[in-house]
Amino acid sequence: MALNPSQKDYRCVYLIEDDPIERNRLCTLLAEANYSVQVFPSGGALLAEVDKTTRGVLILELLLADMSGLALQSRLVTSSINLKPIFISAAGTIEMCVQAMRGGAVDFIEKPFTDAQFVRSVKLAAAEVILKEKVVRPRNTGERRYISLTTRQREIMDLLAKGKSNRRLAELLGLSTRTVEIHRAAIMRKLGAGSLAELVCMACINENMRPEEMLLTVRSTSE
C-alpha cells in the first residue's frame, strides 16, 4: 500500500479500522468531504508506510489489532511524523482521554457519534496539520503558550471567553461534557491561567493571532 507524494498532504486521512461496516461508513463520509483516504488494518501496517515527510489526519481507536492506539500515538510523536490523531472509542476512560490529548490528539470522540461531528473533527485536525507546517515566531511567553493550543482548544477558549458554559459548549460542538471539561483543564494548564477571568483576558489579548484562514472554514460548515 505504497503512498505517492501527492497523497502526503493535509487532505489525506489515514484510517485504521478493521470493522468493514464502520470502515465503509467513514470512508464514504471522508470522500464526500473531499478527503483522500488510506486504510490500514493495524498500527504496524501504518508505521511501515509513513515517514517524516508524511502529514495528514489519523483516525484510530484505543485498541488496535496489534497495539494500543496510545502506544501508536507515542511512536508517531517520537518519529516526528506529522499525523494529527483523532481517537474514537466506546469505552475510553477519562485517564485515557487525558493521555491522548496530552500526546497531541486533536479530538477524542465517544461512540456513538454523528456524521457531522466526525467530519468537523477531521476538519479541525487538518487545520492542525497546516499550523504545524507554518513557521511561527512568537514574540513573548504568552504567545508561545497560546500557539501551543490545538485548534479545538482555541475554539473552546473563544467560546469560553464569550461566556458559554461547559454544557452549552458540548451542545454547540457535538462533544460530551466530560470531553469539554478535559479540554478546558488542558487550556488552563497550557496557558498558566489561574481562573476563568484570567483566561478571558488572555483570549482577548491573543485574538489577533487566531488562524482565521482555517477556523473560518471549519466554523462555516457547522453554521
CATH number, residue 198? 3.40.50.2300
Instruction: Check pLDDT > 70 for residue 154.
Output: yes
Beta bridge partners of 60: 87
Please indicate, yes or no, if residue 206 is contained in any of the structural domains: yes
Please indicate, yes or no, if residue 70 is contained in any of the structural domains: yes
Nearest by Cα to 208 from 150, 144, 143, 149: 143
Per-residue pLDDT, averaged over 83-93, amounts to: 86
Same domain, 124 and 43: yes
More reliable by pLDDT, 179 or 197: 179
**Over the range 98-114, which residues count as b (16 or more CB within 10 Å of their CB) and which as e?**
ebbbeebbbbbbbeebe
CA distance 158 to 32: 29
Please indicate, yes or no, if residue 223 is contained in any of the structural domains: no
What are the pLDDT digits (tens) for 18-62?
888 999 999 999 999 999 999 999 999 999 999 988 889 999 998
- Indicate the number of domains in the chain: 2
Q: Find the domain containing 84 and state its range.
A: 5-133
Same domain, 72 and 145: no
Residue 5 pLDDT: 35
Structure confidence at residue 213 as a pLDDT band (50, 70, 90): very low
Residue 190 pLDDT: 85
Residue 9 pLDDT: 63
Same domain, 23 and 125: yes
Same domain, 127 and 145: no
Please indicate, yes or no, if residue 155 is contained in any of the structural domains: yes
Which string of DSSP letters, residue by residue, matches 205-220?
Answer: HTGGGS-HHHHHHHHH
pTM above 0.95, yes or no: no
Instruction: Check pLDDT > 60 for residue 136.
Output: no
